[in-house]
């Protein structure tokens, strides 16, 4: 099925979004999985096939009210022929797997305005007797729709965006190559969110193994067998998110002065490391490469048997980076309880959300009316501060 053709035509898109199994093939619209009753009062599954009027990739108004059917002739729930739609029995081969067994005719006073109305009307007539025998039958199967590599970065259709009619907004991310440096708690949640966008590639950088403590601060739930295997973090996460999409590229190495060139050509980078010295080196090189980035940070202290925490997400670009020296440390401290506290996945997730939302605002997915370059969230007061604005 041409998903692009369906996306461009509202009546076909509506059929798909409502869960009908439609396919466009050889100038025909095929609706699969149509429950009907045969003459033995058995519920069977057939297919509706309509000629499809096209002008390039634009679907026109149906030129006929008639439609073909693959299967026995649908009947009423008592086994009698559904005479309201009977026309003829051509039994002609259309494709190797599609036989035009029946030809139906049901004409409304002014014909059908679109293919949604045409297909759903015939389904309504055919499925009613089947539902009276088995109320659970449905033509709205919401079957997974696979996507080819030239159609999408995803292995299957992004029906969430399609149903919300925001595919054109997702186009803002097409072609982007994103780097995530550090696949700890925050970095792994950033991956989870970015992987569900239409970016072309996501490059992962981390040299560590995915161990037991990591399972408590990352999305999902790792098995004991997986933890015992001690996979590299980048390989562990690449395997998971490659189930969803193409373009996940793991690099089981830290970013250093020796391999910093790996970042050249990226559209955007998320820096999720716990060393100020390392982030300083990465940031200075990204600025020289004119690559925008967000650096995340999280500070936690134990006070009176409770945790006090502040989260930070700092945006830097070639245009504005004068604020970075005030927001990001240059030396490494060893008195931060975050380095040993492993069960704060909620803070990691929040820090990732702050970063990804800012990235989406930067590229116009969301409105950015303030254009702040530093965001901090005080967990204990619930206060969110936006600083270093340009708007």
pLDDT in tens, 227-240: 999 999 999 999 99
Given the structure tokens 């619930």, which residue do they identify? Answer: 382
Is the pTM higher than 0.75? The answer reads: yes
Q: How far apart are CA 336 and CA 374, in angstroms?
A: 21
Give me the pLDDT at residue 332, please.
73
Q: Please give the pLDDT value at position 342.
A: 39
Residue 27: strand, helix, or coil:
coil
- Interior CA angle at 129 toward 123 and 134, to 5°? 105
In tens, the pLDDT along 302-318 reads: 888 899 999 999 999 99
Tell me how far apart the alpha carbons of residues 297 and 311 are, in angstroms, rounded to a whole number: 6
pLDDT of residue 343: 56
Query: Residue 334's pLDDT is what?
Result: 58
Of the candidates 80, 69, 79, the one whose C-alpha atom is nearest the C-alpha of residue 42 is 79
- The burial class, CB within 10 Å (0-12 / 13-18 / 19+), for 125 is middle
Q: How confident is the model at residue 333 (pLDDT cuts 50, 70, 90)?
A: low
Percent of the chain whose predicted confidence (pLDDT) is above 70: 96
- Structural domain spans, the chain: 3-133, 166-389
Of the candidates 154, 233, 119, 232, the one whose C-alpha atom is nearest the C-alpha of residue 187 is 233
Per-residue pLDDT of 73-103, as tens digits, reads 999 999 999 999 999 999 999 999 999 999 9
E strand or H helix at 84: none
Write out the two tokens for 26.
């050889």
Q: What is the mean pLDDT of residues 19-31?
A: 93
Question: What are phi and psi for residue 135, nearest 5 degrees?
Answer: -60, -15
Percentage with pLDDT > 90 across the chain? 81
Measure CA of the first residue to CA of the last residue in the chain; give whole Å. Answer: 45
pLDDT score at 232: 97
Quote the pLDDT of residue 337: 45
Tell me the per-residue pLDDT of 150-189, one tens digit each, with 9 for 90 and over: 889 999 988 888 777 888 899 899 999 999 999 999 999 9
pLDDT at 36 over 90: yes
Q: pLDDT tens digits, residue range 239-296?
A: 999 999 999 999 999 999 999 999 999 999 999 998 899 999 999 999 999 999 999 9
pLDDT band, residue 119 (cuts 50/70/90)? very high
4 band by pLDDT with thresholds 50, 70 and 90:
confident
Is the per-residue pLDDT at 336 higher than 70?
no
What does the alpha-carbon distance between residue 12 and residue 2 come to, in Å, rounded to a whole number?
A: 11
Helix (H) or strand (E) holding 382: none
| pLDDT in the model for residue 381 | 95
User: What kind of fold does domain 166-389 have according to CATH?
Assistant: Rossmann fold (3.40.50)
The mean per-residue pLDDT over the stretch 3-27 comes to 91
pLDDT over 80 (residue 338): no
Judge whether 195 and 241 are in contact, CB under 8 Å.
yes
The backbone torsions φ and ψ at residue 212, rounded to the nearest 5 degrees and listed phi first, read -55, -45
**DSSP per-residue string spanning 156-173:** B--HHHHHHT-HHHHGGG
């Amino acid at each position: 099925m041409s998903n692009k053709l369906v996306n461009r035509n509202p009546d076909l898109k509506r059929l798909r979004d409502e869960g009908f199994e439609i396919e466009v093939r050889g100038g025909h619209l095929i609706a699969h999985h149509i429950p009907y009753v045969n003459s033995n009062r058995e519920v069977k599954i057939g297919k509706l096939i309509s000629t499809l009027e096209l002008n390039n990739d634009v679907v026109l108004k149906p030129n006929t009210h008639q439609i073909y059917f693959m299967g026995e002739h649908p009947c009423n729930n008592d086994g009698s022929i559904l005479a309201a739609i009977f026309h003829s029995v051509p039994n002609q081969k259309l494709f190797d797997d599609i036989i035009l067994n029946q030809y139906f005719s049901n004409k409304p006073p002014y014909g059908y305005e679109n293919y949604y109305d045409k297909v759903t009307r015939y389904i309504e007539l055919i499925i009613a007797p089947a539902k009276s025998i088995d109320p659970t039958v449905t033509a709205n199967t919401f079957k997974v729709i696979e996507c080819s590599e030239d159609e999408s970065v995803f292995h299957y259709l992004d029906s969430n965006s399609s149903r919300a009619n925001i595919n054109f907004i997702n186009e803002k991310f097409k072609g982007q190559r994103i780097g995530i440096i550090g696949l700890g708690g925050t970095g792994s949640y950033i991956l989870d969110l970015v992987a569900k966008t239409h970016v072309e590639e996501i490059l992962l950088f981390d040299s560590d193994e995915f161990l037991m403590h990591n399972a408590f601060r990352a999305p999902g739930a790792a098995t004991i067998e997986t933890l015992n295997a001690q996979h590299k973090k980048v390989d562990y996460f690449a395997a998971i998110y490659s189930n969803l999409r193409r373009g996940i590229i793991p690099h089981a190495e830290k970013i250093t002065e020796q391999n910093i060139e790996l970042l050249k050509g990226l559209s955007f980078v998320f820096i999720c490391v716990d060393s100020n010295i390392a982030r300083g080196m990465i940031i200075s090189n990204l600025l020289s490469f004119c690559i925008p980035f967000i650096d995340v940070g999280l500070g936690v202290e134990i006070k009176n048997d409770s945790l006090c925490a502040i989260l930070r997400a700092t945006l830097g670009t070639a245009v504005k980076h004068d604020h970075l020296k005030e927001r990001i440390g240059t030396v490494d401290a060893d008195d931060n309880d975050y380095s040993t506290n492993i069960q704060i996945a909620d803070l990691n997730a929040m820090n990732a959300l702050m970063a990804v939302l800012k990235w989406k605002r930067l590229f116009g997915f969301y409105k950015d009316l303030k254009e702040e370059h530093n965001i901090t969230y005080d967990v204990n007061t619930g206060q969110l501060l936006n600083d270093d604005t340009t708007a």
